[in-house]
Structure 1
């Protein structure tokens, strides 16, 4: 197994043991996992968390708010010893905050609590927080710029943090929270995703989308004049009758990956993050298609760019490219890649890409030799 990274690296968030402006192409990362595999990677504004197949946590990058759960910034992946002995099954990053769900379904939080995004009372935990286990159980979690949302085992959504743009969904009267609060007017939720200043949720039971928060770029699929912001959840029937494999959001764009492989995207397209060069296009839904009829194996969104793995083991990218975070050099040095474009990879011909991750402006992929790609449990 080999881990590769590229993109923005000003705080060493790529784990390459160096901090620099950017890494232009996929570069192998030196990390010792003692024969374990990678379970998940999560990316924040300038930091990265990694969990191996045994639930052990590693971190690197920016640490101004203790978001690494270590004492100092590190530029290569190091074991997070403060959280040793804890088996994490899922992790998430905000801009400068972090959290993880354990195998007994409790939520640990650490990093910045400046907006209450850790669900801790700000009078007692005003800023930077070392890891704390909350008396909160969760089966899914997502972190936005300054807010956090979880799904509990009743399929309810609970939120905390900044809500000035309505991203908490708690109404105009509650624009902030420093404890997890239940979001009203929702059905049973199966998927949750926090953007920069909005939140989206999917109900598999109803085949319906729920949206709330900032709608400046039409990311809520609501009329931007009537709903510049939505302070409570709005239910939208987008006429999808099949299973949703992933619900993803960047800063202000949203993507649905459906069971039949369809990619549906909407919202902001200033940097062609919707996979179309019509950068003025926003609000309405668009279908993203890979060239030559390729099918999607996996997809990941950064703040304003996307990477997509095709079933033929090719990697594609589009969107914001200021830090070469797509891994593609454009001839005219534009700050975006306007449509799905092949990412050049210098990997062994006998290798297959098994996992992809991105967030902010950094990316990670995992490759394995053919025949050695057993699924991570």
Structure 2
């Protein structure tokens, strides 16, 4: 059994709860009686729609279908509750603002939705498509991953003989894909290629990206990188875990999170606060980190209390960082009351489970997966 909890932005039913109110307290949105080895592989969020991928290749979806980003029936503007995608054997998913991309086990890339800046990868004459269309295929023996952010998409292909290639398409107004600057890259175009370097991650912000290799090194940066980030300070370091929000970069290195970029709403992580209020209470261990559009999530394991505790930090305008602990009570409504617009590491939920929870961040939404 796996259970998915969600809270945050929900104006178009993108939390799958059957209503359109923003939520500030985690709510059970999906419960699946699956084999014990089946996990949630990924939650991908667009501006107002959501896809959830299981490790068995099944995909569930909810939210806005205004641009055909979810289902073929153009009369259906929203999918208020979870619906199973009529495609099986999917191994990766990704969402941009109003488009959806999936990768099947044959390494076919399929796309649908709206993309005025080339997000669909179908050329300059196609900006909307309401059924899945295949835009590219790569050799089946290649390991592939999808990455998106707002108006950009990237496909990472790791070649079996070694090396890697990254394809990118979408907006290029900040040279976030390639030089020279252009309004759009309308078809999948090689933006990085190496016969030896094994890229494992394309960390994407709204107008920038970073390429990370299999040794945890930052190989390349593109676009409007936050001014406070200096590549020379990091390019020779290994073992980096890199996470991005739309406007900031967050690097986990030697038990500390280093943040660079926009921080007026708490996006810059406060390590001192986190250490003093969370990690030093007992002998706690940081299990997982993830980020959404302008907020982050942490999973912490305590050496005394069984289970795992989820924390959020950053911009909580839609309730996606939860209520601050001092204001949490059972008699308060779960609807967002705008009481936590900017948050340091804020305790959200304790999950009493042997298997660690996984966390995902969307566009001002937060997702917590519990395994029983």
If the TM-score is normalised by the length of the shorter chain, which range does it land in? 0.7 to 0.9
- Residues in 1 aligned to 2:212 and 2:356: alpha-carbon distance in whole angstroms: 28
- 1:56 to partner: Cα distance: 1.3
1:8-60 Cα deviation digits (max 9, x unpaired): 1111111111112x112111124456555423211111111011232111100
- The answer to whether structure 1 residue 78 and structure 2 residue 83 are counterparts is yes
- The answer to whether structure 1 residue 272 and structure 2 residue 281 are counterparts is no
Would you say the 8 A contact 2:119–2:170 is kept in 1? yes
**Structure 2 residue corresponding to 1:343, chosen from 315, 330, 348:** 348
Cα distance 1:306–1:17, how it changes in 2: closer, same or farther (>3 A)?
A: same
Would you say the 8 A contact 1:113–1:129 is kept in 2? no
Structure 1 unmatched runs, 5+: 223-234, 277-285, 370-377
Q: Match for residue 18 of structure 1?
A: 19
Q: Match for residue 253 of structure 1?
A: 248
What is the number of equivalent residue pairs in this alignment? Answer: 335
Q: Match for residue 317 of structure 1?
A: 312
Q: Match for residue 56 of structure 1?
A: 58
Q: Match for residue 106 of structure 1?
A: 108
- Residues in 2 aligned to 1:178 and 1:314: alpha-carbon distance in whole angstroms: 43
Q: TM-score, normalised by structure 1?
A: 0.80
Would you say the 8 A contact 2:6–2:27 is kept in 1? yes
Cα distance 1:201–1:91, how it changes in 2: closer, same or farther (>3 A)?
A: same
- Residues in 1 aligned to 2:155 and 2:39: alpha-carbon distance in whole angstroms: 26
**Structure 1 residue corresponding to 2:205, chosen from 188, 195, 199:** 195
**Structure 1 residue corresponding to 2:149, chosen from 124, 144, 151:** 144
Q: Match for residue 334 of structure 2?
A: none
Cα distance 1:103–1:171, how it changes in 2: closer, same or farther (>3 A)?
A: same
- Residues in 1 aligned to 2:264 and 2:184: alpha-carbon distance in whole angstroms: 29
Would you say the 8 A contact 1:327–1:344 is kept in 2? no
- Residues in 2 aligned to 1:139 and 1:311: alpha-carbon distance in whole angstroms: 31
Cα distance 1:33–1:44, how it changes in 2: closer, same or farther (>3 A)?
A: farther
Would you say the 8 A contact 2:292–2:361 is kept in 1? yes
Q: TM-score, normalised by structure 2?
A: 0.81
Deviates more, 1:11-20 or 1:31-40: 31-40
Deviates more, 1:2-11 or 1:205-214: 205-214
- Residues in 2 aligned to 1:193 and 1:116: alpha-carbon distance in whole angstroms: 19
- The answer to whether structure 1 residue 159 and structure 2 residue 171 are counterparts is no
Would you say the 8 A contact 1:263–1:289 is kept in 2? no
Cα distance 1:328–1:352, how it changes in 2: closer, same or farther (>3 A)?
A: farther
Q: Match for residue 243 of structure 1?
A: 239
1:341-373 Cα deviation digits (max 9, x unpaired): 21145x5x456542111111111111123xxxx
Q: Match for residue 6 of structure 1?
A: 7
Q: Match for residue 224 of structure 2?
A: 214
- The answer to whether structure 1 residue 333 and structure 2 residue 339 are counterparts is yes
Would you say the 8 A contact 2:53–2:59 is kept in 1? yes
Structure 2 unmatched runs, 5+: 303-307, 328-337
- 1:189 to partner: Cα distance: 2.4
Would you say the 8 A contact 1:11–1:62 is kept in 2? yes
1:313-341 Cα deviation digits (max 9, x unpaired): 1111111111111112476935111x212
Cα distance 1:175–1:184, how it changes in 2: closer, same or farther (>3 A)?
A: farther
- Residues in 2 aligned to 1:58 and 1:185: alpha-carbon distance in whole angstroms: 33
Cα distance 1:257–1:87, how it changes in 2: closer, same or farther (>3 A)?
A: farther
**Structure 1 residue corresponding to 2:189, chosen from 154, 158, 181:** 181
User: CA-atom RMSD, angstroms?
Assistant: 2.6
